[in-house]
């Protein structure tokens, strides 16, 4: 279909690079309990990669089964070097594993693929050859190009979810994902020079999305592929992975301070819902409306706190104890209310603004102050530089 055979690869590479030795490739493969797949995978990789394409394979493993041992044994029959990095703490999940493997890669090209043979190993040389021929930084194996398909995506439900996720991501990141028809694909080749590992904050399955948005690779090419059925075992994806994906999207979208502030504002607005519900419940229960207002406001504050903790400041939570954070956040939120009235009085009385513009200005001012205050007083590292360890936090919350 593409006019690229593995045999043609050497010539293509030789021409482009101007040297006889073709670019080398590191195949990074994340594994989570794939002992029934890795032997077959290494066989097919051995059959697929021509001798003239120097290749190494790096497995990054978070398994609780004997996958690492099976890999080591099967690797003895491989013509190329095979490494297994076993992680004790599986931070970042699949994406975290891939980044770990990329850091260990020692070649110009990195190919990322799954271990369950849903990604055909025969395509590995094509991905690299296409990248060289089209001088691309990134080559995506896509299910959505003519000639590609998602035969292995079992059930209409998963197809619909995958479509929805693709559509959502493309809508949120139109520029970063231009030219990528399948940003949810887990099968791609990327030039190592295009990967800035320090900029990455992988979270779960969508590592290609993470790379495309945070590393902004230059030229992008695509190759169609058929997403096969799993060779053995079952998908490791769960409903929790879906929530992780949403958190991932918010994290990517709020990378700039301005976007964070906008998200902070949107979250703040959603706080009206629990606030009003609590007010209604309290007043119905016979509480006088003034103390009810103050009490109900705390429900909105708590709601906002939980959302910003999970969505905006997840990676900055560990600097303070959670009770400390709740206290500081609530103090800022209530100070906002208390400060607004004298500020409005000042703007009207001293600066002779009309009431509506004065109120608008006061609302905006206290909002920005509250955002800056939350960043600086709740989530910035303490000045003495001490960070609470994770285990410390866990102990004190139990
Ligand atoms: N190290 C590590 N840690 N590997 C993991 C983890 C983890 O937490 N979770 C999954 N993996 C490995 C699996 O062992 C497998 O090799 C690969 O990542 C893909 O996992 P699957 O569980 O088979 O994913 P999938 O088939 O549901 O999803 C695949 O296709 C999607 C497209 O529909 C992945 O490639 C997704 O990234 C892709 O979006
Ligand atoms: Mn799979």
pLDDT exceeds cutoff 70 at 375: yes
pLDDT of residue 253: 95
Q: How confident is the model at residue 159 (pLDDT cuts 50, 70, 90)?
A: confident
Which residue's CA is minimally distant from atom 17 of ligand 1? 114
Weakest mean pLDDT among 22-26, 70-74, 159-163: 22-26
pLDDT of residue 51: 81
pLDDT exceeds cutoff 50 at 160: yes
Largest interatomic CA distance in the chain: 85
- Give the closest ligand to the alpha carbon of residue 37: 1
pLDDT of residue 82: 96
| Nearest ligand 1 atom to alpha carbon 98 | 1
pLDDT exceeds cutoff 50 at 198: yes
CA–centroid distance, 309 to ligand 1, in Å, is 27
Q: How confident is the model at residue 154 (pLDDT cuts 50, 70, 90)?
A: low
- CB-based contact 221:165 (threshold 8 Å): no
Residues in the chain: 398
**Rounded mean pLDDT of the chain?**
89
Weakest mean pLDDT among 199-208, 249-258, 331-340: 331-340
- Give the closest ligand to the alpha carbon of residue 30: 1
Q: How far is Cα 392 from Cα 398, in angstroms, rounded to an integer?
A: 10
Q: How far is Cα 186 from Cα 331, in angstroms, rounded to an integer?
A: 44
Q: How confident is the model at residue 134 (pLDDT cuts 50, 70, 90)?
A: very high
Residue 292: which residues within 8 A CB-CB, separation 6 or more? 279, 282, 283
- Give the closest ligand to the alpha carbon of residue 210: 1
Residues within 6 Å of ligand 1 by CB: 30-32, 34, 60-62, 90, 93-94, 97, 114-116, 118, 153, 162, 184, 186, 205, 235-237
Q: Where are the beta strands (DSSP E) in the chain?
A: 25-31, 55-61, 82-86, 109-112, 138-142, 188-191, 220-224
Q: How far is Cα 121 from Cα 41, in angstroms, rounded to an integer?
A: 8
Query: What is the ipTM, given to two decimal places?
Result: 0.98
- CB-based contact 158:32 (threshold 8 Å): no
**Which tokens belong to 144?**
């959505």
pLDDT exceeds cutoff 50 at 369: yes
pLDDT of residue 53: 87
pLDDT of residue 2: 38
pLDDT of residue 248: 95
- Most confident region among 47-61, 176-190, 235-249 by mean pLDDT: 176-190
Q: How confident is the model at residue 153 (pLDDT cuts 50, 70, 90)?
A: low
pLDDT of residue 156: 78
Section 169-175 average pLDDT: 97
Which residue's CA is minimally distant from atom 26 of ligand 1? 235
Proportion of the chain above pLDDT 90, given as a percent: 79
pLDDT exceeds cutoff 50 at 226: yes
Section 288-296 average pLDDT: 92
Section 183-198 average pLDDT: 96
pLDDT of residue 388: 58
Cα distances (Å, whole numbers) of residue 246 to 46, 239, 250, 386: 37, 11, 6, 31
Section 210-227 average pLDDT: 97
| Nearest ligand 1 atom to alpha carbon 236 | 22
pLDDT exceeds cutoff 80 at 155: no
- Helices vs. strands in the chain: H and E counts, helices first: 14, 7
Which residue's CA is minimally distant from atom 39 of ligand 1? 184
CA–centroid distance, 234 to ligand 1, in Å, is 10
Mutate to test the pocket of ligand 1, among 61, 157, 236, 238 (most ligand atoms within 8 A of CB): 236
pTM: 0.84
Q: How confident is the model at residue 338 (pLDDT cuts 50, 70, 90)?
A: confident
Proportion of the chain above pLDDT 70, given as a percent: 90
């Amino acid at each position: 279909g593409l006019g690229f055979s593995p045999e043609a690869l050497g010539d293509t590479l030789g021409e482009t690079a101007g040297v006889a030795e073709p670019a080398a490739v590191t195949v990074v493969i994340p594994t989570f309990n794939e002992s029934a797949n890795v032997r077959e995978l290494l066989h097919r990789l051995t059959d697929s990669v021509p001798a003239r394409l120097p290749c190494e394979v790096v497995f990054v493993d978070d398994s609780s089964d004997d996958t690492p041992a099976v890999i080591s044994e099967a690797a003895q029959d491989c013509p190329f070097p095979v490494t297994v990095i076993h992680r004790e703490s599986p931070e970042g999940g699949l994406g975290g594993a891939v980044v770990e493997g990329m850091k260990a890669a020692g070649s110009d090209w990195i190919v990322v693929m799954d271990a369950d043979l849903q990604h055909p190993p025969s395509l590995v040389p094509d991905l690299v050859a296409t990248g060289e021929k089209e001088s691309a930084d990134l080559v995506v194996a896509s299910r959505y190009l003519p000639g590609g398909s998602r035969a292995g995506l079992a059930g209409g439900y998963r197809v619909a979810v995958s479509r929805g996720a693709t559509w959502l991501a493309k809508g949120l990141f139109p520029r970063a994902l231009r030219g990528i028809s399948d940003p949810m694909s887990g099968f791609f080749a990327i030039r190592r020079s295009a990967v800035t590992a320090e900029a990455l904050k992988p979270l779960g399955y969508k590592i290609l999305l993470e790379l495309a948005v945070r590393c902004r690779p230059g030229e992008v090419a695509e190759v169609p592929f058929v997403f096969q059925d799993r060779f053995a075992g079952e998908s490791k994806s769960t409903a929790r992975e879906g929530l992780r994906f949403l958190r991932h999207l918010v994290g990517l979208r709020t990378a700039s301070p301005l976007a964070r502030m906008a998200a902070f504002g949107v979250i703040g607005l959603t706080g009206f819902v629990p606030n009003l519900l609590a007010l209604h419940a309290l007043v119905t229960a016979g509480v006088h409306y003034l103390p009810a207002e103050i009490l109900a406001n705390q429900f909105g504050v708590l709601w906002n706190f939980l959302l910003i903790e999970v969505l905006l400041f997840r990676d900055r939570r560990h600097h303070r104890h959670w009770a400390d954070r709740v206290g500081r956040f609530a103090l800022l939120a209530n100070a906002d209310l208390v400060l607004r009235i004298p500020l409005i009085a000042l703007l009207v009385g001293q600066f002779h603004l009309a009431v509506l513009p004065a109120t608008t200005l006061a609302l905006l001012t206290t909002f920005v102050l509250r955002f800056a205050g939350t960043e600086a007083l709740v989530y910035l590292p303490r000045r003495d530089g001490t960070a609470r360890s994770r285990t410390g936090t866990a102990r004190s919350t139990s």
